[in-house]
Amino acid sequence: MSPWPRFGKTVNSLIAVTSILFCLALLEGAVRYAPFLGGFKPEPRTFVGDFENRESRNFIADQNTGWRMRPNIEFVWKIAGERDIYRSNDQGFRSEMNVSRFENRKVIALIGDSFAFGTGVEFEETFGELLGDSLGDDVTVYNLAMPGFGLDQMWMSVRHQALPLEPALIIFAFIDADLDRSQSAYRMAEGFNKPTFELENGNLRPQTRRDKPSVMIRLLEAHSGLWTILRKTIKHIGYRYSFGDWWLRNRAIIKAMNSDAKSADTPLLLVRLPLRQRRTFPSLHRLAKTEDLNLLDLGGPETGSFDNLHFVDDAHINEAGHAFVADRLTQWIKENRLLD
């Protein structure tokens, strides 16, 4: 039998593979550089052991949550053209007073990221302070939020910082980007490592160095726009269906946090904060229903208009945005009698 048919098949296979690779390369170039496709820039994750903590003038490492403010520090940040003062108490939280479990008033522990922390506004203008003022003299709000926190860090803040205070209520305020942060072990902006968890057989466990993906996957994450599109597509599906690591991992975090609060017999209120681009989140609402979780969703289109709630040149909520959140929180807490 002639060997040529066999070689012919091999050549055809090589041509087919080369053609596919060439098409993928063209698509990759289009995705990365074509303006009409928006430029899907790769967003590589970080893993345990990738980086060491950087020295910070205003923040220090925290073994439970990743980082917090240096105790008793005062500094100025310029956000959206405004210079605001940020002061910490003895424990490294942005507060005018120290937090204590021996407070005579009812305590609300506020957990969150830079939105709840109040980046861009004075402390008196944050929705945590405004909420405390509106609820009366027998209620105090301890703001335990930190800039850059992900959902996993907020869970650890609930467990290690909020629950030991034996609060009357925990408010867990987040934005959608905080769910992205649960997938990385190091925050470039802050320069600190953070708690990160892997979902294994339905259970959460701390990430280790052994959980790093293969070299090929890391190369794709670091350099491939097509891979970025795939990950964003899976994330998009996760908003509506229980699918993909992005949603399943964060769903497990929310369930674990809710379980911690229920074990301590402490009411928990999950608050999705407003962004400029409103988006429905059916998966979150289903989770709240099945887990009997209090949810105030201010990030969906059904909430109403969000005009002028954010800084023009910055994504954070401005003074009007904080007042809006405080008003909705006050109304929701009173209507649902969470402090009774």
Residues 32 and 165 in one domain: no
3-state secondary structure of 82: strand
In this structure, the strands spanning 82-87 and 74-79 are antiparallel
Give domain status of residue 278, yes or no: yes
Give domain status of residue 328, yes or no: yes
Residues 22 and 87 in one domain: no
pLDDT per residue over 36-95, tens digit each?
455 567 889 999 999 999 999 999 999 999 999 999 999 999 887 788 999 999 999 999
Give domain status of residue 193, yes or no: yes
Residues 15 and 122 in one domain: no
Write the CB contacts of 329 (distance below 8 Å, at least 6 apart in sequence).
127, 131, 171, 271, 296
Q: Which two tokens stand for residue 178?
A: 């905080």
Residues 84 and 176 in one domain: yes
Residues 150 and 236 in one domain: yes
Give the domain CATH number at 243: 3.40.50.1110
Give domain status of residue 42, yes or no: no
At residue 305, the pLDDT reads: 67
Residue with tokens 């994504």: 315
Query: CA 164, CA 331: separation in Å to the nearest integer?
Result: 27
At residue 225, the pLDDT reads: 79
Query: CA 133, CA 254: separation in Å to the nearest integer?
Result: 29
Give domain status of residue 52, yes or no: no
Residues 154 and 93 in one domain: yes
Query: CA 319, CA 10: separation in Å to the nearest integer?
Result: 67
Q: With a cut of 70, which residues of the chain have pLDDT below it?
A: 1-40, 305
Domain that holds residue 128: 59-336
Residues 268 and 305 in one domain: yes
What Å distances lie between residue 203 and 200, 230, 239, 240, CA to CA?
5, 25, 21, 22
At residue 72, the pLDDT reads: 96
Axis crossing angle, helix 4-33 with helix 225-240, rounded to the nearest 10:
70
How many structural domains compose the chain?
2
At residue 93, the pLDDT reads: 98
Residues 19 and 102 in one domain: no
Give domain status of residue 199, yes or no: yes
pLDDT per residue over 256-267, tens digit each?
999 999 999 999
DSSP 186: E
Residues 79 and 191 in one domain: yes
Query: CA 243, CA 247: separation in Å to the nearest integer?
Result: 7
Give domain status of residue 47, yes or no: no
Give domain status of residue 188, yes or no: yes
At residue 96, the pLDDT reads: 85
Residues 167 and 18 in one domain: no
Write the CB contacts of 233 (distance below 8 Å, at least 6 apart in sequence).
none
At residue 107, the pLDDT reads: 96
Tell me which amino acid residue 284 is.
L
Residues 30 and 85 in one domain: no
Residues 162 and 33 in one domain: no
